[in-house]
Amino acid sequence: MHIPKTAGSAFREILSRHFGTRFLLDYDDRPLAPGFRWRRFGQRVRPDESLLDIERDFDCVHGHFVADKYDRLEKPARCIAWLRDPVRRTVSHYHYWKRVPDLRNPDCRALIERKLSLEEFAALPRMRNVMTRFFGGKQPEDFFFLGTVETMAESLARFHRLTGIAVDAMAGDRADETEYAEPSPSARQAVERLNRSDRELYDKVGAMLAR
Amino acid sequence: MSNPELERLRHVWQTLGREDPLWAVLSQADKRGGRWQADEFLATGRAEIDAQVHALAARGWPARHALALDFGCGAGRLSRALAAHFEHVIGIDVSASMIEAARALNRDIDNVEFRENPSPRLDGIADGSVDLVYSVMTLQHIPSQLAAGYVEEFFRVLAPGGVAVFQFVAGADESLRGRFFARVPNRWLNPLRRVAWRRQAVFEMHSLRECDLAWTMVRFPDLSIVAAVEDSAAGRGWHGMRWYVVRDAQRSENAAPC
């Protein structure tokens, strides 16, 4: 499960190299775009046969979707994801959309056309607690692997120990190498306040990894 | 003993160990009622262990062959087979009657010891001392929380360069039978099992989620899963797995479990 701006693009390369033709990209759901609830409803009522096709043809699915999307597979799937400090994730998302606009998304259009500030962008309802929403009803304990961008090297080493997948080529999210200016204290505070669930989630995972 | 789940488990396996120990270990319908021949029963263990040990040796595991641990040894079917490959073997089981049966069946083997272990830990097994931890068709009968604790113990006792091989049920599958198992708890299934097996003491099935074991491994940074394969030992409706977990040969004191 690729949560936007959590090093997913670089990680995708690792998975793609490992799984080859049995690697499926699933970016159709667009969980941050309007109408997602309907798309999600459609997934829940779709016949099991479509999942069986996926199970037959692929060993790994990567993309922007809510974590429980593949819960109905015949064999239980191992769910893995990366997290990022909620403020840094939001800042990265803000700058990324300014640099590479997704004009299908009304929030992105608003950001560009109305020249939203970071606080205004973070206050858009669909931009709040993004990580929590991607988790759906799942808890961190339900994931086979969770890494954090802030502990990239350790997380990758653990991923390798758990899966045997070679990780040597991943140095960071290439789409996000730009160093952004630190948000002002007031902006940081505002983003924190708007992402309380994500902060709790991120801190919980941090505590689980520190045990 | 203060753990009621462990006490219940012990009681069931004490009874099964008294009534029909070989069938309780390998529950084939045509062998119920003391119809396993000892030679035939032990041959199944030899075939399994020889194949596993040779496959592991091809990849260089374990680094030494000093000590093997057979967790949930039952009547010693696998312990005996392991004794052909290791200097010393410890078979442990929660049930005293099973341990008695194991001792009786393996009197002629002198590098195997059988220990009753009525504890949620592997009492008396030192940290980092075991070259091969082996457990099949055992964790699937142990309540999940207890089973997860035993897996953590496998990780604790594993020696540098050692390998833990263990089978478990990761969940029910999406078949009709699996959906039934997933929705009906053991306390409802047990009366049906009592009728089907015509005995009062029946063993239960419990699943152990892979993600829970993966989180346990966070505490053991020198362990790697070198293989995780599907295992059908639990039967239809269950999604069984067999994990092979290796401890780095270069384990330092600093890399000990946190």
Residues in contact with A150: Cβ distance below 8 Å, sequence separation at least 6, in sequence order: A84, A85, A88
* pLDDT tens-digit map of B130-141: 999 999 999 999
Residue B217 scores a pLDDT above 90: yes
| Mean per-residue pLDDT, A149-168 | 94
Nearest to A208 among B175, B215, B239 (CB): B215
Residues in contact with B124: Cβ distance below 8 Å, sequence separation at least 6, in sequence order: B115
Q: How far is A189 from chain B (nearest CA, A)?
A: 32
Return the residue in A55, A161, A208, A209 with the most chain B beta carbons within 10 A, the one to mutate for interface testing.
A161
| Mean per-residue pLDDT, A122-142 | 96
Confidence label for B28 from pLDDT (cuts 50, 70 and 90): confident
| Domain ranges within chain A, ordered by starting residue | 8-210
Q: What is the pLDDT of residue A53?
A: 86
Nearest to A141 among B171, B215, B230 (CB): B215
The angle formed by the CA atoms of residues B88, B94 and B95, to the nearest 5 degrees, is 100
Q: How far is A55 from chain B (nearest CA, A)?
A: 12
Residue A171 scores a pLDDT above 70: no
Under 8 Å between Cβ of A44 and A209: no
SS3 A37: helix
Q: How far apart are CA B258 and CA B254, in angstroms?
A: 9
Q: Identity (one letter) of the amino acid at A194? A: L
Q: Identity (one letter) of the amino acid at A121? A: F
Nearest CA in chain B to A157: B221
The angle formed by the CA atoms of residues B186, B189 and B193, to the nearest 5 degrees, is 120
Q: Identity (one letter) of the amino acid at A166? A: A
Nearest to A143 among B170, B211, B227 (CB): B211
Residue numbers in A near B239 (CB within 8 A):
75-76
Q: What is the pLDDT of residue A175?
A: 45
Write out the residues of chain B at the interface with chain A, using a CB-CB cutoff of 8 A: 170-171, 173-175, 209-212, 214-215, 217-219, 221, 223-227, 230, 239, 258
Are residues A75 and B173, on separate chains, in Cβ contact within 8 Å? yes
Residue whose C-alpha is closest to residue B115's, from B94, B143, B140, B87: B94
Q: What is the pLDDT of residue A176?
A: 53
| Mean per-residue pLDDT, A138-155 | 96
Nearest to B258 among A142, A208, A211 (CB): A211
Q: What is the pLDDT of residue A95?
A: 95
Q: What is the pLDDT of residue B254?
A: 41
Return the residue in A49, A70, A135, A162 with the most chain B beta carbons within 10 A, the one to mutate for interface testing.
A162
Q: What is the pLDDT of residue A180?
A: 72
Q: Establish whether this prediction's ipTM goes over 0.90.
A: no
Place of tokens 């008396």: B124
Residues in chain B: 258
Nearest CA in chain B to A211: B219
B245 dihedral zone (left: phi>0; alpha: psi -120 to 50; beta) = beta
| Mean per-residue pLDDT, B235-241 | 92
Q: What is the pLDDT of residue A169?
A: 56
Q: Considering only A64-68, A185-189, B179-183, B244-248, which range has the smallest mean pLDDT? A: B179-183
Q: Which CATH class is domain B4-255?
A: alpha beta
Supply A167's token pair.
């990780």
Q: What is the pLDDT of residue B257?
A: 40
* pLDDT tens-digit map of B47-86: 999 999 999 999 999 999 999 999 999 999 999 999 999 9
| Mean per-residue pLDDT, A157-178 | 75
Q: What is the pLDDT of residue B258?
A: 37
Q: Which helix (H) or strand (E) holds A24?
A: strand A23-25
Q: What is the pLDDT of residue A71?
A: 87
In whole numbers, what is the pLDDT of chain A averaged over residues? 91
B62 dihedral zone (left: phi>0; alpha: psi -120 to 50; beta) = beta
* pLDDT tens-digit map of A31-83: 999 988 888 888 777 766 778 888 899 999 999 999 999 988 888 899 999 99
Supply A108's token pair.
């992105």
| Mean per-residue pLDDT, A119-139 | 96
Supply B11's token pair.
């009681």
Q: Which helix (H) or strand (E) holds B228?
A: strand B223-230
